[in-house]
Amino acid sequence: MTQVESKTTSNDTPFVPIEKIVALCKRRGFVYPNSEIYGGVSGIYDFGPLGVELRNNIRRYWWWSMVQLHDNVVGIEGAIITHPKVWEASGHVENFVDRLVDCKNCKRRFRIDHLPEENVLQNKCPACGGELTEPRRFNLLMETYLGVVEGERMKTYLRGEACQNIYLDYDNVVKSSRVQIPFGICQIGKAFRNEVTPGNFLFRQREFEQWDLQFFVHPSEMQQWFDFWKEKRFEWYMGLLNHKDRLHFREHGKDELAHYAKQAFDIEYQTILGWQEWEGIHWRQDWDLSRHGEYSGHDLSYSDPITKERYIPWIVETSGGVDRTFLNLLLDAYEEEPDPSGKEARTVLRLHPTIAPVKVAVLPLQKNKEELVSTAKSIHHTLRRLMVTQYDDVANIGRRYRRQDEIGTPYCVTIDFQTLDDQTVTLRERDSMAQIRLPIAELPMYLLERITWR
């Protein structure tokens, strides 16, 4: 058996309803509503045992491809709370606003920039046709307070975009790690936004996680690095997808550019929600370092060690969401496959083996045969040191395969009576359901070769 390549499907395949993913996530322990026993908090979620494995794999894969594979990229991990002036300098206190309207009739709330143009022009609710209120402006930054004594407490913000730490630490990184322009700094971290309309599960949350690369360049090389990272990020997502025709670039119109961006492209993915942003590639130019230099009084210019030229570096940003990646990959991977025998459909998550939460399940054919169980446990104990492994001896083998298909486990190993004779096992592959026999001694290497990113 050879490893099955990611399957490419066309746009004819129907889109998966978000509700199916929400139900699977709850049922199998990927994602739970936060504070559910108190009624939950809209736009905030917790990740369960499988969710945390998937999330960690997604993060590690990003870090490996962005930091480990690039000699001119380093990583940091900044704090969620920063000095309040950071958010004045960044422009968020003034500009990080959404305009919203309420329907006077059905009381629904909408962001103006999400309404169809005709509804804005006619001041008409898209849901019920009722009259809309005057637009109101809301700042998305989440406030918090430092200090204990009333009156002396300092108001600040939970970071509204994770990347600000990178600008704050830029000078320290230059001085402490001998990087030279062009170079990049990466970070993965939580961000917080008082979204006016949180919703669609993990798509728009109030607490979420972002991954950022800020790549510092000489202004004359901006275009070349912008194009380089734009392509690299597109390829990265492509490599994980089954539905490759559902990914494209969309350039921002001049009227929708963020306050810091001179040019921007979104990598968009098409789901049941339509084409939606997955990651932004932003031409931030010298906005961030100039503003922080101005507001802090700290000189953030760069001195070229060879030419001695001094200048404010320009920045290419690639900024995506860990949670949006989590959701999009589940939407992309989920499939209900009709059973040829006419029984229950097979639900399968065709996740890329490198990011699947469990890599292999070890299954004794019968749980009441001591020799099968002890051999299976011994294989499980060997494999779990190398990869996330599940041991399962409950229910018939067909059911156990289905349980693993539903959570995206790429391989199942079955220990049967032949194993006791010749030390081989059955190895079943998730997507094709093809089975081969393999010597126990070859299992670790066989699996590692297929689950490790390269």
Q: Which of 208, 215, 302, 326 binds ligand GAP (CB under 6 A)?
A: 208
Q: List the interface residues with ligand GAP, window 347-406 (CB under 6 A).
A: none
Q: Which of 273, 277, 311, 444 binds ligand GAP (CB under 6 A)?
A: 277
Helix axes 18-28, 397-407, angle to 10 degrees: 120
Q: Which of 53, 98, 161, 286 binds ligand GAP (CB under 6 A)?
A: 161
Q: How far apart, in whole angstroms, are the C-alpha atoms of residue 349 and residue 40?
A: 27
Number of residues that bind ligand GAP (CB under 6 A): 19
Nearer to ligand GAP, 317 or 405 (CB): 317
Nearer to ligand GAP, 291 or 380 (CB): 291
Task: Give CA 416 to chain center in angstroms.
Answer: 39
- Residue 166 neighbours by CB distance under 10 Å: 24
Q: How far apart, in whole angstroms, are the C-alpha atoms of residue 333 and residue 330?
A: 5
- Residue 163 neighbours by CB distance under 10 Å: 28
Which letter does DSSP use for residue 205 in this model?
Answer: -
Establish if 233 lies at the interface with ligand GAP (CB under 6 A): no
Q: Which of 163, 217, 300, 427 binds ligand GAP (CB under 6 A)?
A: 163
Q: How far apart, in whole angstroms, are the C-alpha atoms of residue 328 and residue 282?
A: 21
Q: Which stretch binds ligand GAP (CB under 6 A): 220-228, 312-320, 364-372, 374-382?
A: 312-320
Which letter does DSSP use for residue 357 in this model?
Answer: S
Establish if 332 lies at the interface with ligand GAP (CB under 6 A): no
Residues 16/331, Cβ–Cβ less than 8 Å: yes
> Nearest-CB residue to ligand GAP?
321
Residues 317/323, Cβ–Cβ less than 8 Å: no
Q: Which stretch binds ligand GAP (CB under 6 A): 305-313, 319-327, 383-391, 436-444?
A: 319-327
Nearer to ligand GAP, 208 or 446 (CB): 208
- Residue 425 neighbours by CB distance under 10 Å: 25
Establish if 210 lies at the interface with ligand GAP (CB under 6 A): yes
Q: Nearest distance from residue 171's CB to ligand GAP, in Å?
A: 19
Nearer to ligand GAP, 317 or 431 (CB): 317
Q: Which stretch binds ligand GAP (CB under 6 A): 33-41, 91-99, 317-325, 331-339?
A: 317-325
Query: β-pairing, 389-391 with 360-364?
Result: parallel
Give the residue from 80, 76, 212 showing the smallest Cα distance to 141.
80
Give the residue from 440, 425, 447 showing the smallest Cα distance to 363.
425
Q: Which of 321, 357, 408, 410 binds ligand GAP (CB under 6 A)?
A: 321
Which residues bind to ligand GAP, rule: CB under 6 A? 161, 163, 193, 195, 204-205, 208, 210, 212, 277-280, 317, 319-321, 323-324
